[in-house]
Structure formats: C-alpha cells, structure tokens
C-alpha cells in the first residue's frame, strides 16, 4: 500500500484531459514524479505546462500512446526507465478510456471493438507492461478506472450500451481478481478499482475527435452539444474526482465509488438486482 506519493514515481494513462490531467497535476503537487501518456500530443503538452507551473520541482515524462497497442505501451515504459533512470515505478493509474460502441446491431464492428480494446485492453495491457516495474518497488499500487457501468450496464431505457459496459465490467472483475493474485504473488502491491459516476470530463469530445467514422453534419452537431453538456453539467468536476481517488488509494480503499450519483446507483442496484433493468427502475432512479 502507498500511504503518500511524495518521492514516488506514478504512471498515468490518458493524462491529456479530464480525470487523467487532474491525477497528473495533483500527484505532481503531492511530490511525485509523473509519467503520463495520451493519444493527443496537444493536450499532453497542455497538461505538462500546467504541471510545470504548479509543481515545478516534479519530473515529468510524456509519451504519445494508443493504450490498445502493446508495443506503444512498451515504448512508453522504456522511455520512463530511460528518462527517470529507474528500474521501478510505484503506482500505475490505468485511466485512459473512450465512450461509444453502444449496440451490437447498429454500431460498425470496428468501432465497437475499438471501444472495447481501449477501455478493457488498455487496462489489461497496462498491467502486463508495467507489473515488472511495480514488482521492483518496495510498495506499489495499481489503480484501474472502471465506471458505474462496470456494475450497471445501462445508461437508460432504449439506449444500448454494450461495448463500454462490457469493457468496464471486465475492468472491475479483473481488478477484484488482482486482489487475491497480489496477496499470493505480490503482497507489497495493492489493487484499486475506480467507479466514477457522471464526472465533468471531455470523454465524449475526445471520443468524437478520435472516432473511426466521421458522422454526418446533423449527427455531429448533436454530438458536439452532448459533449459540451456532459462536461459542463456534471455534478462533480474532474478535479474533485481525482482528489477522491488519490485519497482513497492512500487510505487503502480498494473499491472507490466517485460521486454521490455513483454511491446512490450502487445502493439501488444492490438492493434490487433482479429489477435493475426494468422500466420502473429508471423511474425510481430519476426520482432520487
């Protein structure tokens, strides 16, 4: 378990925007050296500039990575080893993710599989690539970002949500399985699964930006409005979410619900798992 991040080396995927940017910023302010990656060099540069201003003593490594591609994660790992002259890291935040891939019927297969490959594959491959460095640390933490859709596979009635939900369920189950795996094979490591509710991030906008398919003008206009609303009308900011995550990790909590909406949904699903996908369940949620 890591009880503070001062003097530690932390790795964050998806550090260009949203919760990833805030994790990078807050970890650096807490005294960590931070290596972070993203698929967009421009947003990485923005994050690096923020850190340079607010935590000038922190060492930073940036690298462009598609987390669904193992060789790119390996190149990122090698850059960390070289730039930090280290044989270990203390924390891995598998945070990168995209939205989309709603339906098995109406979404093109390549788009569906891209969502699954990033949201699940990025976590799995991140662990495969960085576990050897974590094993060399005196203590370490693996922090995997799932979602409320990792325990509840819906965003509302008549709105299929299969790729994202399946990936986030996989992340949750994998991380819970790591709890026992670490106890047996790496007792100095801790595993943590993060399940945010609606957080004000650019996940929708970023998904549009890196989409495999160009939407028509009418759909694009609707998506732009949706992306703006998702970020600006969220009940919790990315800054607040990152603060909750870091505090929970240092407190040794393995199951991290982020946001009052996540806590309420978790309680509702646990109270009525059989009825969780019935129409009246959505009505009850809306009344809370």
Catalytic sites, residue numbers: 164
Q: Which alpha helices (H) appear in 15-159, and where do they start and end?
A: 18-29, 41-54, 70-83, 109-116, 122-135
Rounded Cα–Cα distance for residues 168 and 240 (Å): 21
Contacts of 57 (CB under 8 A, 6+ apart): none
Rounded Cα–Cα distance for residues 59 and 32 (Å): 8
Cβ neighbours around 270 below 10 Å, total: 10
Q: C-alpha angle 60/65/69, rounded to 5°?
A: 140
Give kind and range of the element (H or E) at residue 60. Answer: strand 60-64
Beta-bridged to residue 36, according to DSSP, are: 12, 62
Q: What would the two tokens of residue 204 be?
A: 């929708």
């Amino acid at each position: 378990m890591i009880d503070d991040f001062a003097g530690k080396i932390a790795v964050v995927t998806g550090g260009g925007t949203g919760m990833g940017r805030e994790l990078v910023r807050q970890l650096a302010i807490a005294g960590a050296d931070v290596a972070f990656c993203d698929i967009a060099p421009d947003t990485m540069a923005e994050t690096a500039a923020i850190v340079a201003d607010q935590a000038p003593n922190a060492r930073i490594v940036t690298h462009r990575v598609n987390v669904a591609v193992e060789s790119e994660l390996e190149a990122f790992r090698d850059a960390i080893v070289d730039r930090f002259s280290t044989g270990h890291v203390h924390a891995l935040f598998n945070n990168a993710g995209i939205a989309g891939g709603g339906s098995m019927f109406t979404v093109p297969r390549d788009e569906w599989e891209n969502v699954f490959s990033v949201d699940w594959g990025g976590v799995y491959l991140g662990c495969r690539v960085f576990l050897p460095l974590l094993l060399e640390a005196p203590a370490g933490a693996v922090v995997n970002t799932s979602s409320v859709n990792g325990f509840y596979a819906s965003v509302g009635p008549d709105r299929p949500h299969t790729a994202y939900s399946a990936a986030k369920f996989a992340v949750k189950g994998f991380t819970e399985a790591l709890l026992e795996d670490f106890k047996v094979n790496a007792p100095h490591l801790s595993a943590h699964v993060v399940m945010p509710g609606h957080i004000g991030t650019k996940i929708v906008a970023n998904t549009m930006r890196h989409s495999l398919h160009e939407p028509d003008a009418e759909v694009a206009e609707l998506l732009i409005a949706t992306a703006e609303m998702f970020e600006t009308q969220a009940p919790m900011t990315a800054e607040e979410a990152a603060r909750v995550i870091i505090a929970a990790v240092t407190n040794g909590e393995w199951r991290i619900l982020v946001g009052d909406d996540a806590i309420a949904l978790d309680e509702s699903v646990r109270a009525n798992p059989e009825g969780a996908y019935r129409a009246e369940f959505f009505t009850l949620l809306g009344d809370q």
